Structure 1
Amino acid sequence: MNQPVQQRSSFDLTMRRLLSDKAGLISLCFILLLVAFAVGADGIAAWTGHSPIDQFRDTALTPTGLPVGPNADFFFGADQLGRDVFVRLAYGARISLAIGVVASLLAALIGVTVGLVSGYFGGWVDVVLGRFMDLVMSIPVLLCMLSLVAVFGPSVPLSVAVIVFFSWTTMGRVIRGQVLSLREREFVVAARSLGAGHLSIMVTDILPNLTVPIIIYTTMMVPSSIIFEATLSFLGLGIVPPAPSWGGMLADAANNSIYMFAWWLVLFPGLALLLTTLSFNILGDALRDALDPNSSRRALRKRSKQKAPAAS
């Protein structure tokens, strides 16, 4: 007796594809651990008895004034001022993740809105918005940031604003291209013939078809925003010391040349930046493969699996 075919929802199929991607799962686990590390920064400080700005000159510095390396009291060693690198790394993760996620979401919101309007209306609207995106992309980032810092001073809101301003154009161009291919589809023409308004068509008919690229590109914008923030902090244009930041920690080690005697001051913040950006990029690729089964990487993987039995 034939058993009825069990239908699976698109969500179930997406989750199965995502769970079958080992690299994506490892990256997701690392990101979740990093989030827990950042959220638990206050608990880590209470457990170690070290705040991110406390200076333990008697126990964290040698008689010659150099910071001590990783030990039982300072798991990742201390910096040149006698501060706990492990605790500062946790608080730096909180700042980096918060700025990266918030800036990416705001940039995605602006990019989706501009790209949707530009691609849907076309004509002079597309020309004006397209040239505005070109103008934003042509502005030198560091020169703009230096001017803003000279006027307003470095701060977290200013860092977020600069990252958003220079990041939304990528999403805008991607969404514009997608909308240009969707606006003449049959379902959009049918909605127009039924008298639907422009806003209703964009939000109800076109926007749901953009979910996949929005999710993928927003995920991939997070590591770019984190690197952007670390770069600004490294140059002294981002987070104001003594607040911990991964970029600021690297800058402290480089400016004082202390890294020549204390390798841990460069290794741990640099490794945190590397693994975080790598994990988000791999997760973005995994989401692309899971949400779009016809993606090039998944298709190549299927073809390699099909050729393997034939070769054997």
Structure 2
Amino acid sequence: MAGPIRALRRRVFTPDISETFVSTRGFHDKGPEARTVLETVGSSFLAGLSSAAGARRVTDVDADLADLPTRFRGFAYEGAAMGFALVDTLTPTRPWRSAAFLAGPGDPHIYMAYVGIGWAMARLPRPLWRRAAAAATDPLLRWLVLDGYGFHQAYFRTREYVIERRPSRPFPWPPEGPAAYAARVVDQGIGRATWFVAGSDPAVAADLIDAFPAARHQDLYSGAGLAATYAGGCTERELRLFLHRSGEHAPFVAQAAAFAAQARQRAGLVVAHNELATRVFCGTSVAEAARVTDELLPARPAPSGLPAYEVWRQSIAERFRAHVGVGR
């Protein structure tokens, strides 16, 4: 019966591909080229989710996803992480798939995989969150789970989270907090989704972000900058416009671009657009931007009490401040 059960999981867990269409979501449609990029991101994510939901072994996803274009393969592994987290959470056996995936085929895509776990949490009742995120044990990277949660909410509940700008409030995961900072990382995910909501149009994205309370702008611009670098869908002129519109938050756009560069380089998925975006946002190559993220990994807890993840982000933003021309 294992085969039919896996097939049932695949049908139940995987949304219809029409859910990723720009027209279905009601997102801004900049034109055919940008629409194709954003919709292929969605279909690639679903390919990974479907593969994981129906997998006999976690290594099956490598074969299933091998033929996807380089530009979109990372999104598929993000979807696979969501799938394994859902299967682990909703089956009565001891959860093991997510941990095995993160240690195996998901390891090169570790940043995207942690984000994918956040997607699973967004689809589950709160009492199941601890089980869904059990494999997210890295104290630095686990904040990316909340980035994924925020992206999911803004992508599927756009009116509430983006148009009506649902107020930021302390977030109840991870249980030990800090809850106020957790809400900020959710905003980073909302910002990343806003790039999709805007159809990768930098003016539309900036207008949406600027309508939020000013205290949320830094995290929202950072999230959108990560999406602009990792997913793309725009020209050099548009990237420069977005950097200009981010104003005082430009160092955190650069920081997010460096995160995207690191994720791409670690997975061996660097494409021309990533080089273009890091050159515009960071003034350097993907390899150099990724090196900066490694160099500035925090070695010890911050005296300020800030989570190490935020210390890391601030250090990277400070490194690129001179490039973006923003004063202290």
By the TM > 0.5 criterion, same fold? no
Instruction: Name the larger-Rg structure.
Output: 1
With the length of structure 2 as denominator, give the TM-score of the two structures. Answer: 0.24
With the length of structure 1 as denominator, give the TM-score of the two structures. Answer: 0.25
Higher relative contact order (CA 8 A, sep 6+): 1
